[in-house]
Structure 1
Amino acid sequence: MRKLTQAPNLAIATVWADCLNRAGIEASVQRLYASGIAGEIPPDQSLPEVWIADDGQLDAARALLHELQHPRERRRVCQACNELIEGPFEQCWNCGANMPGL
């Protein structure tokens, strides 16, 4: 078992571990409730951590984590009305035309 990263909070750690598990990389969250003793130990030592079970999947886990932390920016121009569409929208908010997939 190997530590992949620390997360800023339990919710983010859980999302990252779930995404890794769905990708076939067995992951777990450690230090789930260590934030309760943050005043007795240094705060950075009480953050939740994401661990992976198979050391051989470390590079794949790091690559997926990087994608999760740095999502692609989605900017497209509607072909019907030339409106700039930012984000995951499937339709142009201005004219309602369907946006082509990425």
Structure 2
Amino acid sequence: MLRLTRAPNIAIAALWVDVLQNAGIAASVQRYFLGSVAGELPPDQCQPEVWLTHNEQESRARELLDNLQNMPQRRWLCACGETVEGGFEQCWACGRDM
């Protein structure tokens, strides 16, 4: 087994593991419940971790996580002239839908 990375919270760790598993990479979340003892232990030691079952899948797993973490953001120009970035489907200046 190989520790691939630490996640900032359990929801992100579960998302990453789900993406890896859907790609055929055997992965699991470790330190699932350690967040409850943060303060008793150093907080960085309580973060959930993503572990791979098979070490030889590391390069593919890192590539998948990198693609997931660095997705390009959408950008569109509203009829009012405002540039809207990110996942927004409605203009924050005038309220028009994309």
**Smaller-chain TM-score range?**
0.7 to 0.9
For 2:32 and 2:97, locate their aligned partners in 1 and report how far apart those are by CA, in whole Å. Answer: 47
Supply the AA of the counterpart residue of 2:71. P
Corresponding residue number in structure 1 for 2:27: 27
Unaligned runs of at least 5 residues, structure 2: 89-95
**Identity rate, percent:** 49
CA RMSD in angstroms, aligned pairs only: 2.6
Q: 1:75 corresponds to which residue? A: 75
| 1:87–1:38 distance in 2 versus 1, CA, 3 Å | closer
Q: Distance in 1 between matches of 2:97 and 2:4?
A: 45
Please list every run of 5 or more consecutive structure 1 residues that lacks an aligned counterpart in the other structure.
Answer: 97-102
Output the amino acid matched with 1:73: Q
Does the CA-based 8 Å contact 2:73-2:86 persist in structure 1?
A: yes
Structure 2 distance, partners of 1:95, 1:9, is 33
Q: How far off is 1:27 after superposition?
A: 0.7
Shift of 1:66: 0.6
Runs of 4+ more than 6 Å apart: none
Q: 1:29 to 1:76 in 2, by over 3 A?
A: same
In the alignment, which residue of structure 1 is the partner of 2:11?
Answer: 11
Task: Provide TM-score, normalisation by structure 2.
Answer: 0.77
1:1-102 → structure 2 map (5 Å cutoff): 1-75=1-75, 86-87=85-86
Q: Distance in 2 between matches of 1:35 and 1:50?
A: 15
- Aligned positions, number: 94
